[in-house]
């Protein structure tokens, strides 16, 4: 079941730059379904399925946003820097896991108690630099003995859980949802083409893994699987984000109002026509917010025709991201069907 695969991926830890454990899960899942694995110097995992001389790159970033130890004080409290786009109040009082060299260590993000805040302080948005990590240690030496040092990566401690209907919540659905979608696609597809499924690193810190892998592979076209923002809950309106959870995967016509990406029209048409032909629920968006790996892939070499295929996810970049499992299943179906054909480039 894709739900159980997603649980495994969401509960695993892989901040940008330390994606090893995610890579291991993927390899175990798709080993029997691909011809070979390649791994480049940055850590991108490329699962290759050989076919004819038309090549399609599928990209899903493995990394999640996290933190990193920047400084350890004499009492054992740690200053941290964000790795990826965090909003301070989201991190306030979260439990975290520090991935030290002796194994995982539990910690909390502490800050000044609200009782002690002055009136003006309470009104202000709390910043990451106002917080620190507390692992319960009493000294810098005690922290170091736990295997933690400057540069130790940190991720959020929050277990995947099932919600009502077919919805689930987890800490790293951005982008383990895209990873799960590619894993299932590789297991089910029967494409005549050469498929490079690239599980990319360091997307959340600047789309870096996708850039180098697109250059190396030089594919004929590319699809990036990721998450996107739905406008279906309080605090946001459909005029600002027109897609909804539970209504199928989302084909982006543009990302970041076109500054990020204007998708290749033939790639958009290919996915939309496949969805229509096979009666697969599917939505389109003109995105004003974030980017995906497609933003950098389409600018590699002489220009690689690219399109994002995303899953609507509520509350992204938080420990309580929410998605609908049905959207992922439709996304897999759409990719499997599309890959039997090719875009009219
Ligand atoms: Zn993402």
Q: State which residues form the domain around 273.
A: 2-64+171-338
Cα(292) to centroid(ligand 1), Å: 6
pTM across the whole model? 0.96
Cα(61) to centroid(ligand 1), Å: 7
Cα(210) to centroid(ligand 1), Å: 12
pLDDT in tens, 188-218: 999 999 999 999 999 999 999 999 999 999 9
197 in the same domain as 324: yes
For residue 24, name the pLDDT band (cuts at 50, 70, 90).
Answer: very high
Mark which of 156, 189, 207 sits at the end of a domain. Answer: 156
Query: Would you say residue 316 lies in a domain?
Result: yes
Cα(288) to centroid(ligand 1), Å: 15
Average pLDDT over residues 174-192: 97
pLDDT in tens, 126-140: 899 999 999 999 999
Cα(38) to centroid(ligand 1), Å: 22
Number of domains the chain contains = 2
Query: Would you say residue 343 lies in a domain?
Result: no
Could you say which DSSP state residue 201 is in? S
Q: Is the pLDDT of residue 13 over 90?
A: yes
pLDDT over 90 for what percent of the chain? 94
183 in the same domain as 140: no
144 in the same domain as 72: yes
CATH at residue 149: 2.40.30.40
Cα(224) to centroid(ligand 1), Å: 10
pLDDT of residue 307: 98
42 in the same domain as 76: no
200 in the same domain as 73: no
203 in the same domain as 130: no
307 in the same domain as 178: yes
pLDDT of residue 113: 82
Query: Would you say residue 24 lies in a domain?
Result: yes
272 in the same domain as 138: no
Query: Would you say residue 163 lies in a domain?
Result: no
| Three-state SS annotation for 276-344 | HHCCCCCEEEECCCCCCCHHHHCCCCCCCCEEEEEEECECCCCCCEEEEHHHHHHHHHHHHHHCCCCCC
338 near 260, Cβ under 8 Å? no
Which residue did the predictor score with more confidence, 113 or 251?
Answer: 251
pLDDT of residue 337: 98
CA–CA gap between residue 256 and residue 207 (Å, rounded): 14
Q: Is the pLDDT of residue 336 over 90?
A: yes
Cα(175) to centroid(ligand 1), Å: 5
pLDDT in tens, 68-114: 999 999 999 999 999 999 999 999 999 999 999 999 999 999 998 88
Query: Would you say residue 221 lies in a domain?
Result: yes
Q: Is the pLDDT of residue 55 over 90?
A: yes
CA–CA gap between residue 81 and residue 317 (Å, rounded): 15
Cα(133) to centroid(ligand 1), Å: 25
319 in the same domain as 221: yes
Nearest to 24 by CA among 183, 236, 233, 191: 183
Cα(172) to centroid(ligand 1), Å: 9
Average pLDDT over residues 241-261: 96
Average pLDDT over residues 42-60: 98
SS3 category, 109: strand
Q: Which of 29, 64, 203, 300 is catalytic?
A: 203
Mark which of 156, 183, 212 sits at the end of a domain. Answer: 156
CA–CA gap between residue 64 and residue 203 (Å, rounded): 8
284 in the same domain as 226: yes
Burial 42-58 (b: 16+ CB within 10 A, else e): ebbbbbbbebeebbbbb
212's CB contacts (< 8 A; 6+ apart) are 40, 42, 44
For ion ligand 1, residues whose CB falls within 5 Å? 174-175, 226
Mark which of 156, 188, 216 sits at the end of a domain. Answer: 156
Rounded to whole angstroms, what are the CA distances from 99 to 102, 111, 135, 155, 170? 8, 21, 12, 8, 19
Cα(174) to centroid(ligand 1), Å: 5
Q: Virtual CA dihedral for 171, 176, 181, 186, nearest 10 degrees?
A: -150
189 in the same domain as 119: no
Q: Is the pLDDT of residue 119 over 90?
A: no
Nearest to 203 by CA among 19, 6, 330: 19
255 in the same domain as 149: no
pLDDT of residue 117: 84
Residue 142's CB is within 10 A of a number of other CB atoms, namely 14
Among this protein's residues, is 203 annotated catalytic? Answer: yes
Report the chain's mean pLDDT, rounded to a whole number. Answer: 96
CA–CA gap between residue 43 and residue 27 (Å, rounded): 13
Beta bridge partners of 253: none
CATH at residue 60: 3.40.630.10
Query: Would you say residue 295 lies in a domain?
Result: yes
Query: Would you say residue 344 lies in a domain?
Result: no
With tokens 């002690």, the residue in question is 116
SS3 category, 119: helix
Query: Would you say residue 162 lies in a domain?
Result: no
């Amino acid at each position: 079941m894709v739900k159980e695969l997603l649980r495994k991926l969401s509960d695993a830890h892989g901040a940008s730059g330390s994606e090893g454990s995610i890579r291991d899960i993927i390899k175990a899942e798709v080993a029997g379904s691909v011809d070979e694995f390649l791994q480049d110097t940055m850590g991108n995992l490329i699962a290759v399925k050989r076919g004819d001389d038309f090549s399609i790159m599928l990209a899903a970033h493995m990394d999640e946003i996290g933190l990193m130890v920047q400084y350890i004080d004499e009492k054992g409290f740690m200053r941290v820097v964000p790795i990826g786009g965090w909003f301070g109040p989201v991190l306030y009082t979260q439990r975290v896991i520090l991935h030290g060299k002796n194994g995982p260590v539990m910690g909390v993000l502490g800050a000044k108690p609200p009782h002690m805040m002055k009136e003006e302080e309470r009104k202000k948005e709390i910043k990451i630099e106002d917080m620190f990590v507390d692992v319960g240690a009493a000294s810098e030496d005690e922290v170091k003995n736990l295997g933690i040092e400057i540069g130790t990566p940190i991720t959020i401690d929050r277990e995947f859980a099932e919600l009502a209907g077919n919805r689930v919540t987890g800490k790293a659905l951005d982008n383990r949802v895209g990873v799960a979608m590619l894993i299932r696609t590789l297991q089910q597809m029967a494409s005549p083409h050469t498929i490079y499924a690239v599980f990319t690193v360091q997307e959340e810190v600047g789309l870096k893994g996708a850039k180098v892998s697109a250059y190396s592979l030089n594919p004929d076209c590319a699809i990036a699987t990721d998450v996107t923002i739905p406008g279906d809950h309080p605090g946001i309106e459909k005029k600002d984000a027109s897609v909804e959870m539970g209504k199928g995967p989302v084909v982006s016509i543009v990302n970041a109002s076109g500054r990020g990406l204007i998708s290749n029209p033939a790639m958009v048409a290919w996915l939309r026509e496949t969805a229509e032909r096979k009666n697969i629920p599917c939505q389109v968006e003109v995105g004003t917010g974030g980017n995906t790996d497609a933003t950098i892939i389409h600018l590699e070499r002489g220009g690689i025709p690219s399109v994002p295929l995303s899953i609507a996810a509520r509350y992204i970049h938080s420990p309580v991201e929410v998605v609908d499992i049905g959207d992922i299943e439709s996304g897999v179906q759409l990719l499997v069907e599309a890959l039997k054909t090719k875009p009219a480039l």
